[in-house]
Structure formats: structure tokens, C-alpha cells
Amino acid sequence: MLPFQLVYHPGYDLNLGDHVFPARKYRLIHHRLLEDRFAEPADFVEPKAASDDDVLRVHDPGWVHRLQTGTLTAAEIVKLEIPYSREMVEGFWLATGGTLLAARNALRQRIGFNIGGGFHHAFPAHGEGFCAIHDVAIAIRALQNERLIKKAMVVDCDVHHGNGTAAIFSGDRSVLTLSLHQLNNYPSQKPPSVIDVNLLDGVEDAEYLDRLDGALKVAMSFAPDLVFYLAGADPYREDQLGGLSLTMDGLQGRDQLVFETALAQAVPVAVVLAGGYARDTDDTVTIHCNTAKAARDALQ
Ligand SMILES: [Zn+2]
């Protein structure tokens, strides 16, 4: 048995068909972790869908209603950049329930791991960039509401800036947002995070790890009760939507650095996956599975 649970539900697959966002990756990761004997069936736990009360602590009621009733405008669907379906909406609610469960697990077991989530481009009243609702923000507000945490920190290592996260927590001193991303990439408008690390095109492992280490050292003085780690696979050099040049080893070094830095200060970590669009989807699956391995190693 693993020292932490893997939160997963078959409904995470957003059924997007032949889309650049390989939403089937969640199912492939579940399969690979079992096939490699990294995990046993008993290591997995299925979340319940997030409650509407949880979602509405972050999101505008009109946006939630239009998602749930299939009444988004054509412009809203274009901005979301994925086709609308009932399964898609259910997938977001399930993955958000998964992020909340992973966060609760992290508080008990030091690490919580959702094989999904990381929808950092969602805003309170609109979605964009494949993100309909902001699972991490919803989980933070739920845990704060239950008085389980006071301060949270978001460490966003997806190659794209965490614009939704920055906007939602702007001016909120209880949440430190850190985004390490490629400057010349989506989104064009980057509302400021508390700490933004703007990387130039083509940055390689050594510089990336050095910049991350420096940012984490500053950020951890915030002394959060919980870290949410967005372990995007898209800083990988073979990514179709990313322009950085990290290797698989570099990405695993990144994972180690985040886990070791947080756990050294006894701060638990809830992992969510965020993006990953490698030319070969198997590479994206490998990178995400390696994050689970780094999590296990960090607890040993
Ligand atoms: Zn991304």
C-alpha cells in the first residue's frame, strides 16, 4: 500500500474526442500506475462530485447555472475552448470533489493526490483554456469555511500562468499564489500572482530548478497550513502548447523540490495535475506518474 491515497474517478474523462487536451490521460495514468505495480486497486479512492454550495463560494451563480443547464453563450464556449457536453460538466464537478478530497487527505497523511484537477484558468464568472470551474480555489474556500486551514499556498508549475488563481485570490492575504510559467505564452493577460516567476522561451532544467528553489524559499516564509501543487506536465520540451525545454528528469527534480521543501517545514501538500500536451500522450502519462513516485519517495 502507498502512504497516501490516489483520488480518481472514471468520470474525470471529459470525453473531448480528438482534442489537443488529452482528457483520456486520467484513465491512462490510473491504468499505468496499476500496470507498473506502483499502486494496487486499494490505493485508489473515488471522490464524490463537489457540492454546489462548495462551488458557489468561488463562482458566480449565473455561470454555474449556465454550465449545469447547457445554456452557455456561443462566446462562452469559444473562450472555454472545449465542446460543451453534460459529461464535460460532470467531469469538472467530479474532479473538483477529487481535489477537495485530496486536500483533506493531505491534512491527515501529509500528501494528498488527485489524478485530475488543476483548472487554474477558471474565473468566478467565466471559464477559459479548458477550465470551467476552479477546483483548487473551491477546495481552499471549503477548508477555510470548515476552519480546517487558515492560510493556503498555491504552487503553480504548469507552463501557463495561473490567471484564474491570481484573479480569485487578488488582495486575499490568506492565500499566497506562486506561478512559475513561460512569459510568452497563453494567457495574454496575466493578472499578478503574489509571486510570478516569468521564464523566457526555452528555459532548461538547471535554470528552472534554480528559479523554483529561490521562489519557494521566499514563499515558504508565509507558513501556509497547506500547499496546493499544480504539477503541470507541460513545461516538458516535447509539449505542443509549451515553449520551455525541461526533460523528464528535470520535471521529476521539480516535483522532489516542491515536496521536500514543503514537508521539511511540516506543511502538507495536495497535488493536482493541471496541463500536459506532449506530442506523445504516453510522455504526459509518464510525467504525471513520476510525480506520484516523487510523492512516495518524499514520504520515505
Ligand atoms: Zn498549461
Inform me whether the pLDDT recorded for 65 exceeds 90: yes
3-state class percentages of the chain: helix first, strand second, coil last, to nearest 5: 45, 15, 40
255-284: average pLDDT: 97
Range from 13-22, 98-107, 255-264 carrying the lowest mean pLDDT:
13-22
Q: Is residue 17 very low, low, confident or very high in pLDDT (cuts 50, 70, 90)?
A: confident
Q: How far apart are CA 208 and CA 117, in angstroms?
A: 23
Instruction: Evaluate the omega torsion of the peptide bond into residue 124 and state whether it is cis, within 30 degrees of 0.
Output: no
Ligand 1 centroid distance, CA of 158 (Å): 5
Inform me whether the pLDDT recorded for 68 exceeds 90: yes
Inform me whether the pLDDT recorded for 130 exceeds 90: yes
Give the residue from 291, 245, 294, 268 showing the smallest Cα distance to 103.
268
Give per-residue pLDDT as tens, 212-261. Answer: 999 999 999 999 999 999 999 999 999 999 999 999 999 999 999 999 99
Told to judge if 121 belongs to the known catalytic residues of this protein, a careful annotator would answer yes
Inform me whether the pLDDT recorded for 22 exceeds 90: no
Terminal CA-to-CA distance of the chain, rounded, Å? 13
Looking at 9, 120, 121, 126, which residue is catalytic?
121
Ligand 1 centroid distance, CA of 185 (Å): 10
87-116: average pLDDT: 97
Ligand 1 centroid distance, CA of 48 (Å): 25
Inform me whether the pLDDT recorded for 15 exceeds 80: no
Ligand 1 centroid distance, CA of 274 (Å): 6
Report the half-sphere exposure of 42 (CA within 13 A, side-chain side).
3
pLDDT value of position 19 = 84
pLDDT value of position 56 = 98
Inform me whether the pLDDT recorded for 21 exceeds 90: no
CB atoms within 10 A of CB 1: 8
Q: Mention every residue, 6+ apart, whose C-beta is less than 8 A from residue 91.
A: 11, 12, 13, 14, 15, 23
Ligand 1 centroid distance, CA of 79 (Å): 15
Range from 18-22, 156-160, 197-201, 203-207 carrying the lowest mean pLDDT:
18-22
Helix (H), strand (E), coil (C) string for 63-129: HHHHHHHCCCCHHHHHHHCCCCCHHHHHHHHHHHHHHHHHHHHHHHHCEEEECCCCCCCCCCCCCEC
pLDDT value of position 150 = 98
DSSP state of 191: P
pLDDT value of position 298 = 97
Ligand 1 centroid distance, CA of 224 (Å): 24
Task: Provide the Cα torsion 108, 110, 111, 112; round to 10°.
Answer: 20
Ligand 1 centroid distance, CA of 42 (Å): 30
Give per-residue pLDDT as tens, 31-62. Answer: 999 999 999 999 999 999 999 999 999 999 99
Q: How far apart are CA 29 and CA 16, in angstroms?
A: 17
Ligand 1 centroid distance, CA of 15 (Å): 19
281-298 helix and 248-264 helix, angle to the nearest 10 degrees: 30
Q: Residue 254 to residues 15, 26, 174, 201, 268: CA-CA distances in angstroms?
A: 30, 21, 25, 18, 17
